[in-house]
């Protein structure tokens, strides 16, 4: 399909068109806005040349370049995956790849726990060196699981969408013997991670799961969903009663743990600093009359604030339309079950990513996995596709709509 397949991903009428518009506005703004609006407002910049995050007048910084590169790369990843998914069998290939990724993520988490118990630092060689390494820490006597990431919040933000993807595949009955155990393993690691990001993300996603409609994919899914809710509620209630009756000393430890991981987070030095970033981001939006300060010009503690403050009204409309068309368009019913199931699970993985990003992400970059999921969620055409042969033994789907 070559260039035509890539161009089709961002053609008018497709969700990718609005992602391309967001990228175009973001790149233009990153180049022009910090210069045109120089000194118009104070920002917390994304600047590698500075060791400290302090307020300074708006102007060009290294973050404008780095976030521009990330933004363009995300569009390329999205278009490539979208074009690749036009061939038969590739949805299954994507699911297998995510299953493998989930397995490696679980393996890294288990190694992290075992290595900490043995007093070793096994995974340090593969972690990103540019960030402060906060691994090996404990909270209430429990190791803060970070896997291959530099801190536990990064591990939680990466693992939650994978957990949600596997969980929803199990709900609709796609390869349940593999998706089920992987969802249990990744979910368990999230619960054991001691990450506030993980707990906030899991709690918020429970509402999404409660109102979800997996019956549009499989008529057996509502039964699985009811069983999951009943078993989870009963297990949680029995666990609480057991601890209260037989282990009263554990109640104080757990309450201290919850307070340290979630309740006191906003009052900590880090929480106060991050709330200051968000407050200044909103101020930047109004100081620039809704235009924005340019992609990469600021950092915040929420993806929503970064989007509003960096890209302004235009960026919010374009990116919001991209998300709306991807997440809210009904999954076409004329495709095989596997493709519809994977597209449905990918949508929920996107929602999980947006939840944790809205709670803690400091820049616009949502990660490669998000745009792979976005391509899978939006690549199914509402019209019945024409299937034509393609070179290399693959069979194209929807190449000529």
Q: Distance (Å, rounded) from C-alpha 132 to C-alpha 151?
A: 8
Q: Distance (Å, rounded) from C-alpha 157 to C-alpha 352?
A: 9
Q: Distance (Å, rounded) from C-alpha 52 to C-alpha 38?
A: 21
For residue 46, count other CB atoms closer than 10 A to its CB.
25
pLDDT at position 123: 73
Q: How confident is the model over 212-219, as a mean pLDDT?
A: 91
**This prediction's pTM:** 0.86
Q: Find the Cα–Cα–Cα–Cα dihedral 138, 142, 147, 151, rounded to 10°.
A: -30
Q: How confident is the model over 77-87, as a mean pLDDT?
A: 93
Task: Indicate the range of 184-188, 233-237, 334-338, 350-354 predicted with least confidence.
Answer: 233-237
Q: How confident is the model over 175-185, as a mean pLDDT?
A: 94
pLDDT at position 390: 44
Count the residues in the chain: 401
Q: Which of 308, 312, 315 is nearest to 21 (CA)?
A: 315
Task: Indicate the range of 184-188, 231-235, 304-308 predicted with least confidence.
Answer: 231-235
pLDDT digits 0-9 by tens, 95-131: 999 999 999 999 998 988 888 777 777 777 776 544 5
Share of the chain above pLDDT 70, in %: 81
Q: What is the DSSP string of 140-159?
A: TTEE---TTSSSHHHHHHHH
Three-state DSSP class for residue 388: strand
The model's confidence at residue 5, banded by pLDDT at 50, 70 and 90, is: confident
Res. 336: pLDDT tops 80: yes
Residue 212 main-chain phi, psi, to 5 deg: -70, 160
Res. 265: pLDDT tops 70: no
Ordered by start, the domain boundaries in the chain are 2-397
Q: How confident is the model over 280-299, as a mean pLDDT?
A: 92
Res. 20: pLDDT tops 60: yes
pLDDT at position 398: 44
- The structure tokens listed for 146 are 């970070």
Q: Distance (Å, rounded) from C-alpha 329 to C-alpha 341?
A: 15
Q: What share of the chain is helix, strand, coil (3-state, %, to 5)?
A: 65, 5, 30
For residue 393, how far is the Cα from the chain centroid? 34
Instruction: Give start and end residues of each alpha helix (H) in 193-293.
Output: 196-211, 221-246, 248-258, 269-287
Q: How confident is the model over 2-31, as a mean pLDDT?
A: 89
Three-state DSSP class for residue 212: coil
Q: How confident is the model over 374-392, as a mean pLDDT?
A: 68
Between 268 and 333, residue with greater pLDDT: 333
Mean pLDDT of the chain: 83
DSSP letter (8 states) at residue 293: S
pLDDT at position 387: 46
Contact predicate 81/372, CB 8 Å: yes
Q: Write the CA distances from 113 to 12, 116, 122, integer angstroms.
A: 48, 5, 10
For residue 276, how far is the Cα from the chain centroid? 23
Three-state DSSP class for residue 171: helix
The model's confidence at residue 92, banded by pLDDT at 50, 70 and 90, is: very high
pLDDT at position 249: 58
pLDDT at position 251: 55
Residues paired with residue 387 on neighbouring β-strands, in sequence order: 397
Q: Distance (Å, rounded) from C-alpha 83 to C-alpha 9?
A: 7
Res. 395: pLDDT tops 50: no
Q: Write the CA distances from 273 to 49, 50, 54, 126, integer angstroms.
A: 20, 17, 10, 29
Between 216 and 249, residue with greater pLDDT: 216
Residues paired with residue 395 on neighbouring β-strands, in sequence order: 389
- The structure tokens listed for 276 are 């200051």
pLDDT at position 69: 95
Res. 164: pLDDT tops 80: yes
The model's confidence at residue 168, banded by pLDDT at 50, 70 and 90, is: very high
pLDDT at position 85: 92
pLDDT at position 34: 94
pLDDT at position 31: 93
For residue 64, count other CB atoms closer than 10 A to its CB.
27
């Amino acid at each position: 399909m070559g260039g035509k397949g890539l161009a089709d991903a961002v053609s008018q009428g497709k969700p990718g068109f609005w992602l391309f518009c967001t990228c175009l506005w973001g790149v233009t703004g990153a180049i022009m806005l910090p210069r045109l609006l120089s000194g118009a407002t104070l920002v917390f910049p994304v600047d590698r040349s500075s060791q400290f995050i302090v307020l300074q007048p708006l102007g060009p910084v290294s973050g404008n370049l780095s976030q521009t590169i990330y933004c363009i790369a995300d569009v390329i990843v999205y278009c490539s995956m979208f074009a690749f998914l036009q061939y038969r069998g590739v949805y299954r290939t994507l699911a297998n790849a995510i299953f493998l990724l989930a397995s490696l993520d679980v393996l890294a988490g288990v190694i992290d726990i075992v290595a900490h118990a043995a007093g070793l630092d096994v995974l340090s060689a593969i972690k990103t060196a540019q960030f402060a390494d906060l691994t090996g820490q404990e909270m209430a006597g429990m190791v803060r699981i970070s896997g291959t990431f530099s801190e536990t919040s990064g591990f939680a933000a990466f693992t939650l969408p994978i957990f949600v993807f596997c969980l929803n595949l199990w709900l609709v009955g796609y390869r349940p013997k593999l998706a089920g155990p992987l969802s249990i393993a990744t979910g368990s690691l999230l619960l054991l991670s001691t990450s506030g990001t993980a707990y906030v993300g899991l709690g918020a996603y429970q509402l999404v799961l409660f109102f979800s409609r997996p019956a549009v994919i499989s008529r057996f899914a509502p039964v699985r969903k009811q069983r999951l809710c009943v078993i989870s509620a009963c297990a949680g209630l029995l666990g609480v009663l057991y601890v209260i009756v037989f282990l009263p000393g554990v109640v104080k430890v757990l309450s201290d743990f919850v307070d340290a991981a979630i309740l006191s987070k906003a009052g900590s030095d880090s929480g106060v600093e991050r709330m200051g970033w968000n407050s200044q981001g909103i101020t930047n939006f109004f100081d620039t009359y809704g235009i924005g300060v340019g992609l990469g010009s600021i950092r915040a503690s929420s993806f929503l604030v970064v989007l509003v403050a960096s890209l302004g009204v235009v960026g919010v409309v374009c990116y919001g339309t991209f998300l709306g068309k991807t997440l809210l368009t009904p999954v076409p019913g004329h495709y095989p079950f596997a493709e519809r199931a994977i597209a449905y699970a990918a949508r929920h993985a996107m929602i999980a990513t947006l939840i944790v990003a809205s709670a803690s992400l400091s820049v616009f970059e949502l990660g490669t996995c998000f745009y792979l999921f976005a391509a899978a969620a939006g690549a199914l055409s509402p019209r019945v596709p024409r299937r034509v042969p393609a070179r290399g033994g693959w069979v194209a789907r929807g190449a000529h709509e």
